[in-house]
C-alpha cells in the first residue's frame, strides 16, 4: 500500500507480530476489505440475486463520480487543507460548462478540457482566498460553496449534456462489462496513489500536511504547495464534473450536494487524516467500493432509499471516530 506519512511515525514496531510484518496502512486495508466482503456475503445470503451483473453495474456506477471526488478530497486532506467543502459547486459548475458547450456544438475533447479547466480555476480561486487572506480552508470552501451555488441559481435552472452527444453515449456504455465512467476513476486512483509519494511535488504536499513548520524549515513553500494542490484537486473535481455530465441526465445547481457526505466518509475511512500528512489514495478504491455497496445492499434488504442518508451519516460518524482514535494512537 502507498500509505504515506511524514510527521506521524509509520513504524509498526511494538504493534505485535502481525503489525510488525505488514506494511503501514495494511490494517486499514484489511478492515475495509473485510467489511466490504462481509457486506457482499451477507447480502448474497439474504438474496441470491444480489450477486448479479445488475448489482455490479449499480455499485460501479455509484463508485465512479464519488471515487474521483474522493481522490481530490484526499489530496486536500493529506496536504493539510483539511477539507474542500466547495466540491459540490465545483462539480456542478464543471458539468454545466461541459453540457453548455456540447449543446453549443463544441467538439467533445474541447468541452471536456474546458470542464476540467473550470474545476482547476475554481480550486485556484479557493487557494487564492485561503493563502492571501490567511484563512481556514474549511471555512473558505464552505463559503465559496454557498456563493457558487447561489450564483449558479441566478444563472441557470437546469443543464443537461445533449442526449445525442458522444459524451452521453460514453457515460451510458460499458467496457469489459463495467461502466465506461468507472475506468477513469480506477486509473486516477492508481496513478495519483502511485505518484503522490514518489514525486517531488507529492512529497512536498505530504510534508506540508504533516508539519508545515518543519516543511518550511526544509525550504518547501507552503503557499506554492497550497496553490498547486487546490488547483490540481480542482482539476480532478472538474474531471468528476465531466463524468457526472456524461451520466446524470438533467441536473440543477444543487445536484452535487448529495456527494458531500459519502466523499468525506470515504476519504476518512481510507485512512486519510483530517490533520494532514497521512493517508493512502489507493485505499480509496476499497472505501468507495464499500460505501457504494451499502445503498444497493440496503434496498435488497428492503430498506427504502430514505435510509441511505441515515447509514451514510452513521458511517461518517464512525469514520471520524476512527480518525480521532488513529490520531491519538499515533500521538502516543
Partner 1 sequence: MTNRTVRRAVATLATVAVAAALTGGATVPAQAFKLGMAVGGLPALDWMKAQGDVANALAKRRGWDYVELSNNNDAATAVKNADIFIQDKVDAVIEFNGQPSVNPVLAQKLGAAHIPVVTYDIAQKGFYFVGIDNQAAGIAGGKALGEIAKAKWNCQPDLVLSSEGAGAGIVNTWRTGGMRDGLKQVCPDIPADKWISFEGNGQAAVALPAARDVLAAHPDAKKILVVGLNDGGVLGAIQAAEQLGRADDIIGWGQDGSYITGNNVDPHLAGSVFYFLEGYAVYALRDVIDKIAAGNPPPMKDDAGDPASRVEPCPVSAAEAAKIPDMPERVKQLLAAPAGTTEYELFCPKKG
Size of the site for partner 1 (CB under 8 A): 39
- What residues numbered 183-222 form the site for partner 1, per CB under 8 A? none
- Output the DSSP codes for 8-67: S----TTSHHHHHHS-TTHHHHHHHHHHHHHHHHHHHHH-GGGSSHHHHHHHHHHHHHHH
Minimum distance, C-beta of residue 114 to partner 1, in the bound complex (Å): 20
Q: Site map for partner 1, 241-270, x if CB under 8 A?
A: ------xxxxxx-xx--x------------
Which residues, in sequence order, are CB contacts of 279 under 8 Å at separation 6+? 3, 4, 74, 77, 78, 267, 270, 271, 272, 273
CB 278 within 8 A of CB 78: yes
C-alpha cell at position 47: 438474496
Q: Site map for partner 1, 137-176, x if CB under 8 A?
A: ----------------xxxxxx-x-xx--------x-x--
Stretch that binds partner 1, among 58-66, 191-199, 216-224, 230-238 (CB under 8 A): 58-66
Minimum distance, C-beta of residue 142 to partner 1, in the bound complex (Å): 20
Crossing angle (nearest 10°) for helices 306-331 and 260-269 = 30
Nearer to partner 1 (CB atom), residue 17 or residue 305: 305
Nearer to partner 1 (CB atom), residue 65 or residue 140: 65
- Cα(65)–Cα(292) distance, rounded to whole angstroms? 11
C-alpha cell at position 291: 460505501
C-alpha cell at position 177: 462489462
- Cα(124)–Cα(322) distance, rounded to whole angstroms? 31
Residue of the chain from 74, 116, 240, 298 that contacts partner 1 (CB under 8 A) = 298
Is 300 near partner 1 (CB under 8 A)? yes
Residues that bind partner 1 (CB under 8 A): 47, 49, 52, 54-55, 57-58, 61-62, 153-158, 160, 162-163, 172, 174, 179, 247-252, 254-255, 258, 295-296, 298-300, 304-306, 308
Amino acid at each position: 500500500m502507498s500509505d504515506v506519512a511524514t510527521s506521524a511515525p509509520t513504524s509498526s514496531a511494538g504493534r505485535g507480530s502481525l503489525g510488525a510484518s505488514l506494511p503501514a496502512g495494511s490494517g486499514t486495508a484489511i478492515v475495509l476489505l473485510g467489511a466490504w466482503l462481509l457486506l457482499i456475503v451477507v447480502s448474497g445470503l439474504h438474496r441470491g440475486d444480489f450477486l448479479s451483473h445488475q448489482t455490479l453495474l449499480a455499485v460501479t456506477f455509484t463508485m465512479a463520480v464519488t471515487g474521483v471526488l474522493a481522490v481530490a478530497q484526499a489530496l486536500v486532506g493529506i496536504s493539510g487543507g483539511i477539507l474542500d467543502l466547495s466540491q459540490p459547486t465545483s462539480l456542478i459548475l464543471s458539468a454545466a460548462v461541459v453540457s453548455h458547450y456540447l449543446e453549443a456544438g463544441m467538439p467533445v475533447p474541447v468541452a471536456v478540457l474546458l470542464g476540467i479547466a473550470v474545476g482547476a480555476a475554481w480550486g485556484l480561486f479557493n487557494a487564492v482566498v485561503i493563502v492571501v487572506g490567511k484563512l481556514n480552508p474549511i471555512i473558505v470552501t464552505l463559503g465559496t460553496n454557498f456563493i457558487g451555488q447561489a450564483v449558479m441559481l441566478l444563472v441557470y435552472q437546469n443543464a443537461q449534456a445533449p442526449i445525442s452527444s458522444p459524451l452521453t453515449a460514453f457515460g451510458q456504455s460499458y467496457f469489459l462489462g463495467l461502466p465506461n465512467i468507472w475506468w477513469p476513476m480506477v486509473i486516477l486512483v492508481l496513478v495519483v496513489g502511485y505518484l503522490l509519494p514518489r514525486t517531488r511535488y507529492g512529497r512536498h504536499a505530504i510534508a506540508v500536511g504533516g508539519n508545515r513548520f518543519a516543511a518550511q524549515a526544509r525550504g518547501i513553500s507552503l503557499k506554492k504547495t497550497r496553490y498547486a494542490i487546490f488547483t490540481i484537486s480542482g482539476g480532478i473535481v472538474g474531471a468528476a464534473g465531466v463524468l457526472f455530465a456524461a451520466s446524470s441526465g438533467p441536473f440543477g445547481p444543487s445536484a452535487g450536494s448529495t456527494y458531500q457526505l459519502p466523499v468525506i466518509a470515504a476519504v476518512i475511512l481510507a485512512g486519510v487524516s483530517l490533520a494532514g500528512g497521512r493517508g493512502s489514495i489507493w485505499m480509496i478504491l476499497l472505501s468507495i467500493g464499500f460505501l457504494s455497496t451499502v445503498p444497493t445492499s440496503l434496498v435488497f434488504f428492503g430498506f427504502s432509499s430514505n435510509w441511505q442518508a441515515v447509514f451514510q451519516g452513521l458511517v461518517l460518524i464512525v469514520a471520524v471516530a476512527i480518525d480521532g482514535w488513529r490520531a491519538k494512537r499515533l500521538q502516543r
